[in-house]
Amino acid sequence: MTFNYDLFVIGAGSGGLASAKRAASYGAKVAIAEQDLVGGTCVIRGCIPKKLMVYGSHFPALFRDAAGYGWKIGDAKLDWEYFITSIDQEVRRLSQLHISLLAKAGVEFIPHRATLVDIHTLEVDGRKITADKILIAVGGRPIKPDLPGMEYGITSNDMFHLPSQPKHIAILGAGYIGTEFACIMNGLGSQVTQINRQELILKGFDEDIRRGIQEGMANHGIRIIPNTEVTAVEQISAGLKLNLSGEHEEPVIADRLLVATGRIPNIDGLGLENAGVDVVPGSEEGPGYSTTNAIAVNEYSQTNQPHIFAVGDVTDRLNLTPVAIGEGRAFADSEFGNNRQAFSHQNVPTAVFSTPEAATVGCTEAEARAKVGEAVKIYHTRFRPVYHSLTGQQERITMKLVVDANTDKVLGAHMVGDNAAEIIQGVAIAVKMNATKQDFDATVGIHPTIAEEFVTMR
């Protein structure tokens, strides 16, 4: 059978772009379809615009810290409209850049929605297109719990387009998205209340990381309400009234509500049933909360249909931009580059761009104990960085190594504090290479730095 394309990619996010360009580099005839701006969640409504907001939120603290070093700083005021417009312009510039890179790579870009008709056929803008192989890389989307009044809440998608800065924003959810936006808005000068159904934020991270960030956020003036659920939201003259149950039952009134209770694979309307593609069933997480199905794949990102593949958040494996890119390239290498390989999801570093910042790679302490039992040795330090010797701020750095005492292998590295992501990126190389604590100890530290603590902990 003759096909229109060797590979057709549905979705021009991080995973789709990486796989399309890599496949084309091997000589494959490739097309990619995207109905939105090119770049996916990361470029359009995630990593990039959020990091720009993080940078913007740090300036008030820098102005304040400068006084401790003798600088005289006048009154500073944020121009919200300029701030948001500048971020949007940069997002659109990057989106156009990705389109030009596709053309340079020889990938045909189709600015329309694509849906599956059968295992080799897609419908795009009213016409049928065939492909030998199909890759689904449509990512995920934010979801709101099914609770009264949730229509008054916004999601992370909307945070980059607010027409004005909220005076008081309430945030429902304490994962990395809710936590990062809590810190961003607090840094920009908004009053922030974060509501968490658990005792600590950032479920799944190391316990010391969770406590370190939560303590730092509280010290910066963010109100965190633990062990509490929102039962309903009402619109009143003063803004939005959040009715609560649990440890805290007094309603919260804010002018904006960010609902950051999770993201789900964006599989609706893909036509998976037409091609007989299997999905992994979702699970109920509590009253009003649920997750939806994800596309089921094997270690090579292959679905139950041999010619259909999926990478990135739509598979709900490890939802990080570099992981989607890695999965996409591994797929292209395997199917078009005569180099069969599976992307490893082990020891993937990640960061939370909160204030204080955090980053981690490898096992948490709890995971390590479940893995090797009592043969876990913890190296831990907590200190005030030299930078704050003159600022008067009571900031603290937390650094932690999790070691298998039987082999001396470093199983995990964790940090809370300034530049945590930059530091852990380097440490991740050592962890990925199975470095031992003795290897860390034998490394000479750069003094005076924060990072040197990773090689001086005893």
Residue 406, judged by CB atoms within 10 A of its CB (0-12, 13-18, 19+), counts as exposed
Structure confidence by residue, pLDDT tens digits, 213-241: 999 999 999 999 999 999 999 999 999 99
Per-residue pLDDT of 131-177, as tens digits, reads: 999 999 999 999 999 999 999 999 999 999 999 999 999 999 999 99
Residue 265 in contact with residue 182, Cβ under 8 Å? Answer: no
Q: What would the mean pLDDT of 415-440 be, rounded to a whole number? A: 98
Using 50, 70 and 90 to split pLDDT, how confident is the model at 282?
A: low
DSSP designation for 306:
T
pLDDT at 20 over 80: yes
Q: Which residues make Cβ contacts (< 8 Å) with residue 319, sequence separation at least 6?
A: 140, 263, 312, 313
Torsion sign across C-alpha atoms 345, 280, 111, 131: positive
Distance, in Å, from the CA atom of 65 to the CA atom of 389, rounded to the nearest integer, reads 10
Query: What's residue 195's pLDDT?
Result: 98
List pLDDT tens digits, range 59-106: 999 999 999 999 998 889 999 999 999 999 999 999 999 999 999 999
Summarised one tens digit per residue, pLDDT across range 103-134 is: 999 999 999 999 999 999 999 999 999 999 99
- pLDDT (0 to 100) of residue 365: 98
Residues taking part in catalysis = 447
**Which of 281, 76, 80, 246 lies closest to 172 in space, CA to CA?**
246
State yes or no: pLDDT of 36 exceeds 80.
yes
Structure tokens at 424: 């852990």
- The Cα–Cα gap between 309 and 294 comes to 13
How many other CB atoms are there within 10 angstroms of residue 376's CB atom? 21
Q: What is the DSSP letter of 126?
A: T
Is pLDDT at 308 greater than 90 in this prediction? yes
Q: How far is 295 from 314, CA to CA, in rounded Å?
A: 6
Condensed to tens digits (0 to 9), the pLDDT of residues 362-402 reads 999 999 999 999 999 999 999 999 999 999 999 999 999 99
What CA–CA distance (Å, rounded) separates 430 from 185?
35
Whole-angstrom Cα distance, residue 301 to residue 241? 44
- pLDDT tier for residue 1 given thresholds of 50, 70 and 90: confident
pLDDT at 291: 65
Asked whether residue 283 carries a pLDDT value surpassing 60, the answer given is no
Angle in degrees, 0-180, between the axes of helices 321-336 and 14-25, rounded to the nearest 10: 30
Those residues with Cβ within 8 angstroms of residue 91's Cβ, 6 or more apart along the chain or in another chain? 37, 39, 43, 44, 48, 49, 160
Q: Which domains does the chain have, with CATH numbers?
A: 5-141+264-336 (3.50.50.60), 150-261 (3.50.50.60), 356-455 (3.30.390.30)
Closest CA to 322 of 428, 450, 399, 400: 428
Tokens standing for 285? 């997480």
* Bridge partner residues of 10 (DSSP): 33, 136
Looking at 40-146, list the stretches that DSSP marks H as alpha helix, in order from N- to C-terminal side.
40-45, 47-68, 80-105
The predicted structure's pLDDT at residue 192: 98
User: How many whole angstroms separate alpha carbon 323 and alpha carbon 202?
Assistant: 20
Q: Which residues, in sequence order, are bridge partners of residue 252?
A: 242
pLDDT at 284: 52
For residues 177-192, give the mean pLDDT: 98
* Per-residue pLDDT band at 286 (split at 50, 70, 90): low
Confidence (pLDDT) at 281: 79
Query: Residue 235 and residue 253: Cα distance in Å, rounded?
Result: 10
Query: Other C-beta atoms within 10 Å of 344: how many?
Result: 12
Beta strand extents in 266-324 (DSSP E only): 279-280, 284-286, 289-290, 294-295, 308-310
Q: Tell whether the model's pLDDT for residue 285 goes beyond 70.
A: no
Residue 292, pLDDT score: 74
pLDDT higher than 70, residue 287: no
pTM of the model as a whole: 0.96
pLDDT band at 289 (very low <50, low <70, confident <90, very high): low
Find the distance separating the first CA and the last CA of the chain, reported in whole Å: 65
Angle between helices 47-68 and 80-105 (to 10 degrees): 140
Residue 218 and residue 145: Cα distance in Å, rounded? 26
Mean per-residue pLDDT of the chain: 96
